[in-house]
Amino acid sequence: MARILVPGGAGFIGSHTVLALSEAGHDIIVYDDLSNGHADSVLAGTFIEGSILDSAKLDVLFKEQAIDAVIHFAAFIEAGESVKSPMTFYKNNVAGSLTLLQAMAKHNVRNIVFSSTAAVYGQRDDLDLLSEEITKQPINPYGHSKWMVECMLRDMATTGAINAIALRYFNAAGSDPEGRIGERHEPETHLIPLILDAARGKRPNIKIFGTDYATPDGTCIRDYIHVVDLARAHVRAVELLLERPSKTGSYDAMNLGTSQGYSVREVIDAAKQVTGIDFEVIEEGRRPGDPGKLVADASKVAADLNWQAERSDLRTLLEDTWAFRRNLD
């Protein structure tokens, strides 16, 4: 058993990871400023309200608690928002991560798993599958902020100060299969929750953003990954750092996806089947900044973490999300 600090543990992926950590027997401290998270999503561990920008509070926290590792989720995630408010994103995501890393260094906490994203790759419609080593060309401040933190982790690992694993998520979706927690972004911008809101009559329709992409049906293709599969990968990653600590520092980055992409149309059709509800679909122009296709080469994580997606087939993913979302206000 290890004591794990989880900044951002009240958010969507964080709260599911907290459940998985608890089920694996770990002791958890969730640290979240609730700017986007929900305190009632924290179903295990101790909850402390606080910001990763608050160095004094982090100092007290690390002094009082014997932390073995950090799983860092605390970040703003809306790519579109990041274009409008880059400073907010750089402050929270980059300066916040630096403040957290400084507190870790001061208290000699060496292990960190970092929430990264496929957005570090940018617009690579020329590639079928994106592997970890391709050039990082983010196309928005959100992607840049995540890549900057990865660079900090890599450089600190080179000095021997830390052991880090960055997990680059593709399209996180799904919900706890027992329906205890799920995705609750305000406002919601992600495709699957919006489709299901159209199915339950909370929205008049679902809009398809772009039908002229160079894909078989003209709509964007994404690699959707179930949040429970993501959560399991975080447990594996942190346990790997704890079981095989490097004294000279280590940094590794892994894609978390399925290597299988679905188009917007395919997701909508599957959602109509799963819910048994027909709803209006409206074709619109492209949303600025959307790459046509983002699909992971997920072979590295399979080999390094001995991890496979188990609930990320489209039907299971939609069924789990529907079970949670249909009862949401």
Enumerate binding residues for ligand UFG (CB under 6 A).
77, 79, 117-119, 170-171, 189-191, 194, 206-209, 220, 222, 264, 287, 290, 294
Q: What number of other Cβ atoms are within 10 A of residue 282's Cβ?
A: 10
Nearest to ligand UFG of 47, 213 (CB atom): 213
Q: Which residues contact 24 (CB under 8 A, 6 or more apart)?
A: 235, 239
Q: What number of other Cβ atoms are within 10 A of residue 86's Cβ?
A: 15
Can you read off the two tokens belonging to residue 219?
């709509």
Query: CB 32 → ligand UFG: shortest distance, Å?
Result: 18
Closest CA to 13 of 178, 185, 150, 151: 185
Nearest to ligand UFG of 143, 249 (CB atom): 143
Q: Which residues contact 60 (CB under 8 A, 6 or more apart)?
A: none
Contact between 262 and 217 (Cβ < 8 Å):
no
Q: Phi, psi (5° rounding) for residue 142?
A: -60, -50
Whether 142 is catalytic:
yes
Distance of CA 269 to the CA centre of its chain: 25
Nearest to ligand UFG of 113, 208 (CB atom): 208
**C-beta nearest to ligand UFG: residue:** 220
Return the residue matching tokens 């002094």.
63
CA distance 20 to 229: 10
Query: CB 169 → ligand UFG: shortest distance, Å?
Result: 6
Contact between 305 and 166 (Cβ < 8 Å):
no
Nearest to ligand UFG of 54, 290 (CB atom): 290
Nearest to ligand UFG of 3, 286 (CB atom): 286
Query: CB 223 → ligand UFG: shortest distance, Å?
Result: 7
- According to DSSP, the β-strands at 221-222 and 262-263 are antiparallel
Return the DSSP state at 91.
I
CA distance 191 to 139: 20
Indicate which residue of 31, 142, 169, 262 is catalytic: 142
CA distance 183 to 321: 8
Nearest to ligand UFG of 65, 123 (CB atom): 123
Active-site annotation, residues: 142
